Every structure is written in C-alpha cells, then in structure tokens.
Structure 1
Amino acid sequence: MPRIIIQNLGNFIIDSESTDRKVIELIHENGIDWMHACGKKGRCTTCKMILVKQEAQLNELTERELFYRSQNRLKPNERLTCQTQILEGEILIRVAEINKFPHLQYTE
C-alpha cells in the first residue's frame, strides 16, 4: 500500500490503495493544499517535493524531471509530485521552503 508522510505538515499521513495516481493527486484528495502553478503538467517545479526518506518503489524519472535536473532546477533528492507515482512502499517528504503557502502552518 502506498504511503506518503509529509514531515513538515505535522507528519501528515496519506495511505492509498491506488498505485496509478500521481503524488499530487493523493495529496489534494486528502485536503492538503500543495502548489502547482502549471496545472500539474510538469512545466514548472512549483510542485516539487523533497524526498527525506524513500522506502518505496517510485516510477522512473520522467522526461520533464530529467529536463529540470539537467538545468539544476531539481536536485537528486527532489521529484515533481505531478510526475511521481508510488508503486509500493512509503515516502517521507517535505514541502520545499520556496513552495510553502503563507496560509498553512508548517512544522519543522
């Protein structure tokens, strides 16, 4: 069962039965506001997540993620939530400082 834990949102836990959904879809379906300026199309990096711990099998990096990595806009421990699927297991993630919303309470 895929599991997402958002560390700097009070260790918010999202469990899902589905492995064919993008991480951002699972986050939004669970009532968490997560930035996505391009409409979840992989045209920007505003939806990026920082992978703190990965005990999961994720889909391969997409063409868009490889493009942003080549431009140093996506670090090795970062993925785009609109491009990433958890095939099985658990990830511990953080919202990047630059992508935090002012109306949400973040924890450290």
Structure 2
Amino acid sequence: KEKDEETKRPYSMRYIGCMVADIHRTLLKGGIFMYPADKKNPNGKLRLLYEANPMGFIIEQAGGIASTGRERILDIVPETLHQRVPVIMGSPYDVKKAIEFIEQYSK
C-alpha cells in the first residue's frame, strides 16, 4: 500500500454511500471524496447546483479543494438546472495528487 504523505499511514478506502456523510468523514479524518467522470458518465454523476456546489463550498471553507479535475467547482456557471459535473474534493495534497493521476492515465 502507498502511504499518505501527510499522515504517514497507508491509504484506505471508505464509501458510506451518502455524499454528506462521506464529506463529513473526509473533513474529520482527511483524505479525498471522488466521483470522477468515466466512460458511462463523461459529464460526471453528481449534480452541480445541489450536490457539488454546496459540498464544495464547505470543503473550501475548511481549507480544502473542490475541483472537477479541470476547474474549480465554485467557478462553474450553471447551464442547466440538473447539470452534472465530475467531483474531486478534499485535502489540497490529495486532490492535486488525484488530478495528476487522472491527467497522466486518461490519455
């Protein structure tokens, strides 16, 4: 297992299945919450206005980063009510590392 540079502990995965609970755990324990784009959901799965934006605001207020992998979630101007976006949010170190990984292996 690869070790987390900040905590010196091995990475592990947790998925509660409720975005609010998963983000709460991320805020308490550190780490990252991700729902990146994939072949089935090229625009992402979570809705911008009532999932990604509110949680992104909370993450950023706590000192983290909320990104689509290409841009800051809070900078997106909605085009439709139910617009979906990829989501990567959490500690700055982990989000930057995830974005680097996605950029490297999504070519």
Between the two structures, name the one with larger relative contact order (CA 8 Å, sep ≥ 6): 1
**Is the TM-score greater than 0.5?**
no
Higher strand share: 1
Under a length normalisation based on structure 1, what TM-score does the superposition of the two structures give? Answer: 0.29
Higher helix share: 2
